[in-house]
Amino acid sequence: MHDVRTGAATAPRYPYPSVTSRTPGPRTDAGVYSRYARRYARLVTMPTTAPPAHALADVTASDSTLRRFLHGLPGVDAVGLEARAASLGTRSIKTTAKAYAIDLAISMVDLTTLEGADTPGKVRALGAKAVHPDPTDRTAPTTAAVCVYPDMVAVAKEAVAGSGVKVASVATAFPAGRAALDVKLADVREAVAAGADEIDMVIDRGAFLAGKYLKVYDEILAVKEACGANARLKVIFETGELSTYDNIRRASWLGMLAGADFIKTSTGKVAVNATPANTLLMLEAVRDFRAQTGVQVGVKPAGGIRTSKDAVKFLVLVNETAGADWLDNHWFRFGASSLLNDLLMQRQKLASGRYSGPDYVTVD
């Protein structure tokens, strides 16, 4: 099914392509899945070496300019933000819209295993599942990526070889991020050398909460450089530790200013992970950032999204906040593990009219 895998196109990371330069691709009537297949082919890589050269480059000139910029962002009213997220959560997505959303959600999953107990066998099983999520229906789209620790990247790479599924690796002393910069960079380099297509880094929340924004910025910049020409960088804020929505908005802009390809809510390792409200807020941030700089950045909510119903609600947030340009696994991901099986069961139910149950999906 997934025959369109022309590999990554290469283009200079800077200057940023303007949004309007994105040209519509060929439209075919080959059905919904070839559309997804084309999307996977678009998981392109962006080489980088220099700091960003966009309209906001000046704000990172010094600690004080950066602080002034971040603190000058409009505040977030928590009650209003949560009310908006809840209101979008009441959208009723049925029939054809549901089928579209479920397949889109499957194609956006970063299938994740981040356990101390991970073994090559476990990672291979995960890779196989990412490539063929539904053993009974090979028309199911592949997931966007598998997400593993750096030492498992090589195994994962082999497991998904030739499928178009990316391998993402958490790095930078995940999940706490409490290590020296050299150690974090070595972590990143190892993952990239092993073939990781994407790096999921954690920011130094301690430095952020202490107001040392430039330190956080410089660290992201360094990690971005260590990612080299081919790996896309996802920057994890651990929103549950940043605690306030104002902080999440500031962190989002900080990450985007430093060249993040994705901004990501959380590690999945703390009490509060992705929520509709914090994801809505980050979607507003990428929308506004693109409006100001022309640079499009992806969003990845991670942790706590377990049901199809939840996933569809997140897609509604994407659709009505950032807009249709983000409804693509190049720009939006779900960091999840158990979500995939629920999506597959709902997909089977839509196709057959019956709910097959957990014995008809793979347990890994």
Partner 1 sequence: MDMEMLSSAFEYAPAPESRSVVDIAPSYGLFIDGEFVEATGGKVFKTVSPSTEEVLSEVAEAAEEDVDRAVRAARKAFEKWSALPGAERAKYLFRIARIIQERSRELAVLETLDNGKPIKETRDADLPLVAAHFFYYAGWADKLDHAGFGADPRPLGVAGQVIPWNFPLLMLAWKIAPALATGNTVVLKPAETTPLSALFFADVCRQAGLPKGVVNIVTGDGRTGAALVAHPDVNKVAFTGSTAVGKQIARTVAGTRKKLTLELGGKGANIVFDDAPIDQAVEGIVSGIFFNQGQVCCAGSRLLVQESIQDELLDALKRRLSTLRLGDPLDKNTDIGAINSAEQLARITALAEKGEAEGAERWSPACELPSSGYWFAPTLFTNVTQAHTIAREEIFGPVLSVLTFRTPDEAVAKANNTQYGLSAGIWSEKGSRILAVASKLRAGVIWSNTFNKFDPTSPFGGYKESGFGREGGRHGLEAYLDV
Place of tokens 């933000």: 81
- 75 contributes a contact to partner 1 by CB under 8 A: yes
- For the chain, what's the residue count? 364
Closest CB to partner 1 among residues 92, 117: 92
Return the number of the residue (25 or 211) whose C-beta is nearest partner 1: 25
Residues 2/142, Cβ–Cβ less than 8 Å:
yes
Q: 251, 233, 231, 232: which is closest to 241 by C-alpha?
A: 251
Minimum CB distance to partner 1, residue 91 (Å): 6
Per-position x/- string for 279-308, each x denoting binding to partner 1 as judged by CB under 8 A, each - no binding: -----x------------------------
Query: Minimum distance between the CB of residue 288 and partner 1, rounded to whole angstroms?
Result: 9
Q: Is 30 in the site for partner 1 (CB under 8 A)?
A: no
CA distances from 22 to 43, 44, 297, 319, 325 (A): 14, 13, 14, 18, 10
Per rule CB under 8 A, is residue 54 in the interface with partner 1? no
For the bound state, the minimum distance from the C-beta of residue 172 to partner 1, rounded and expressed in Å, comes to 26
- DSSP string computed for 193-261: HTT-SEEEEE--HHHHHTT-HHHHHHHHHHHHHHHTTT-EEEEE--HHHH-SHHHHHHHHHHHHHTT-S
Residue ranges in 133-152 that form contacts with partner 1 under rule CB under 8 A: none
Write the binding mask 303 to 322 for partner 1: x where contact by CB under 8 A, - elsewhere: ------------xx--xx--
Query: Applying CB under 8 A, what is the total number of residues that bind partner 1?
Result: 47
Closest separation between CB of residue 224 and partner 1, Å?
Answer: 17
Q: Minimum Å distance from CB 31 to partner 1?
A: 11
| Amino acid at the residue 343 | L
Report if residue 42 touches partner 1, rule: CB under 8 A: yes
Question: Mask of contacts with partner 1, 79-98, x by CB under 8 A?
Answer: xxx-xx-----xxxxxxxxx
Is 310 catalytic? The answer is no
349 a catalytic residue: no
Contact indicator for 293, 54 with CB cutoff of 8 Å:
yes
CA angle, 312 as apex, 310 and 317 as ends, to 5°? 95
Report if residue 353 touches partner 1, rule: CB under 8 A: no
Using CB under 8 A, which of 3, 5, 15, 25 touches partner 1? 25
Give the span between the Cα atoms of 211 and 222, in whole angstroms: 19
Active-site residue (options: 129, 157, 300, 313): 300
Q: Smaller CB distance to partner 1: residue 47 or 51?
A: 47
Active-site option among 110, 200, 310, 328? 200
Annotation says 200 is catalytic:
yes
Contact indicator for 285, 252 with CB cutoff of 8 Å: yes
Q: How far apart are CA 3 and CA 31, in angstroms?
A: 13
What contacts 257, CB < 8 A, 6 or more positions away? Answer: 52, 56, 59, 60, 66, 217
Question: Could you give the dihedral angle defined by the CA atoms of residues 87, 305, 45 and 205, in that order, rounded to the nearest 10 degrees?
Answer: 90
CA-to-CA separations, 315 to 83, 134, 250, 356, in angstroms, rounded: 17, 21, 23, 25
Among 197, 328, 337, 343, binds partner 1 (CB under 8 A): 328
Active-site residue among 129, 234, 264, 313? Answer: 264
Q: How far is the CB of 326 from partner 1 (least distance, A)?
A: 9
Interacting residues toward partner 1 by CB under 8 A: 9-11, 17, 21-25, 27, 35, 38-39, 41-42, 44, 46, 74-77, 79-81, 83-84, 90-98, 100-101, 104, 284, 315-316, 319-320, 324-325, 327-328
Which active-site residues does the annotation give? 200, 264, 300
